[in-house]
């Protein structure tokens, strides 16, 4: 089965063609980062308008690169949520219309399920059941994955998502949008141990997270290091970035360890934008080696939003005979544990 996948849930237009026999045939992405940068964050209306401009040219390009005549496409998958409603509607309308015109089924995909399954695009794939740590701009969740669509949330953030905390602290440090990758780069220049942050919610049992207190800790550290005139030395900023990143990574690691211990499982999937963080990937790899776990993550370009994960996730559901009716589905909020399992 050959599936065109379309991702438009936030600030990236991603398109890909996945073939269940031959794997990923082509993928391309347009990032809106430069457009939103001057506002310091995503402007939803601008995001929707840009998806409208970019979707069809990208689809044409990806079909050409995949050398796929449209007659060979067996289904169209699109991100139906969670995400920005206007942005979701653009991808949904384009996908639903193309599927109707081509006489093939369309399926609305859950964005976090697509992230969760992205490691399956790699040669080394996890086998069900496993634990997934989903860390993106909007979500931080530990999920017990028993099969496609069979998800139990073991723990999640009670306030800010990990990516959101990265972005907010980056903003405080005067870094551009999106802050996560820039904060990670700055952290590399920080001196370990100079600034210490708490590891929230690790001194009590449970698998939930809370990252909003780290913002306050970062603001306090910044205030404490301010020189006359409010100036902060670049090295101090790097030290704060380092301390903050270490606190987030330690916290995530402690909860992953607990989740694997409590489920008795040894496979861990790491996915979502923050899984692109090199330090997090390396720390998890070391921990896995020491404890006999196996860790799976997508290649860096498929950690953040992309069309390949949507094409793959949609293909699994279409292969199982699931598809939508003629309506366009768009759900800004959509809990992952309400999805229909794939038999």
Nearer CB in complex with Zn ion: 309/328: 309
Which range touches ligand KG4 (CB under 6 A), out of 206-214, 267-275, 284-292, 314-322? 267-275
Binding mask 296-335 for ligand KG4 (x = CB under 6 A): --------xx------------------------------
Binding mask 17-56 for ligand KG4 (x = CB under 6 A): ----------------------------------------
Instruction: State the minimum distance, in angstroms, from the CB of residue 321 to Zn ion.
Output: 27
Instruction: State the minimum distance, in angstroms, from the CB of residue 122 to Zn ion.
Output: 17
Nearer CB in complex with Zn ion: 164/305: 305
Q: Does 243 bind ligand KG4 (CB under 6 A)?
A: no
DSSP state of 322: -
Nearer CB in complex with ligand KG4: 2/111: 111
Give dist(CA 200, CA 213) in Å, integer: 8
Spatial CA neighbour of 176 closest among 278, 13, 32, 41: 41
Give dist(CA 319, CA 273) in Å, integer: 27
Q: Does 222 bind ligand KG4 (CB under 6 A)?
A: no
Distances (CA, A) of 52 to 163, 210, 232, 257, 267: 26, 36, 42, 43, 39
Give dist(CA 314, CA 3) in Å, integer: 7
Give dist(CA 115, CA 163) in Å, integer: 14
Nearer CB in complex with Zn ion: 19/113: 113
DSSP for 61-101?
HHHHHTT--GGG--EEEEEEESS-HHHHHHHHHHHHHHHHH
Q: Residue numbers of the site for ligand KG4 (CB under 6 A)?
A: 10, 136-138, 163-164, 166-167, 178-181, 184, 272-274, 276-277, 304-305
């Amino acid at each position: 089965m050959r599936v065109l996948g379309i991702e438009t849930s936030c600030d990236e237009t991603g398109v890909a063609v996945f073939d269940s026999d031959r794997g990923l045939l082509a993928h391309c992405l347009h990032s809106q980062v430069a457009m939103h940068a001057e506002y310091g964050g995503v402007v939803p209306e601008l995001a929707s308008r840009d998806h409208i401009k970019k979707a069809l040219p990208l689809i044409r390009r990806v079909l050409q690169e995949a050398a796929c005549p449209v007659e060979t496409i067996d289904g169209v998958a699109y991100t139906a949520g969670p995400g920005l409603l206007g942005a979701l509607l653009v991808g949904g309308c384009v996908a639903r219309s193309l599927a109707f015109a081509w006489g093939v089924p369309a399926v609305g995909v859950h964005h976090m399920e697509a992230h969760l399954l992205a490691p399956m695009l790699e040669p080394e794939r996890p086998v069900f059941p496993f634990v997934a740590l989903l860390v993106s701009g909007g979500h931080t969740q530990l999920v017990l994955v028993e099969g496609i669509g069979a998800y139990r949330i073991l723990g999640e953030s009670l306030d800010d998502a990990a990516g959101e905390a990265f972005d907010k602290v980056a903003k405080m440090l005067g870094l551009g949008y999106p802050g996560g990758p820039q904060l990670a780069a700055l952290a590399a220049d920080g001196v370990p141990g100079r600034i210490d942050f708490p590891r929230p919610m690790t001194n009590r049992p449970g698998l939930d997270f809370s990252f909003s207190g780290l913002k306050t800790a970062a603001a306090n550290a910044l205030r404490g290091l301010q020189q006359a005139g409010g100036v902060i030395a670049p090295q101090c900023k790097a030290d704060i970035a380092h301390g903050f990143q270490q606190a987030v990574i330690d916290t995530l690691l402690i909860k992953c360890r607990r989740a694997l211990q409590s489920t008795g499982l040894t496979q861990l999937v790491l996915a979502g934008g923050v899984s692109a963080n090199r330090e997090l990937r390396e720390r998890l790899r070391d921990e896995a080696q020491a404890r006999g776990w196996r860790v799976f993550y997508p290649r860096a370009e498929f950690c953040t939003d992309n069309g390949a994960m949507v094409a793959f996730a949609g293909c699994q559901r279409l292969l199982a005979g699931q598809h939508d009716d003629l309506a366009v589905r768009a759900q800004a909020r959509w809990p992952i544990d309400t999805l229909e399992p794939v038999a």
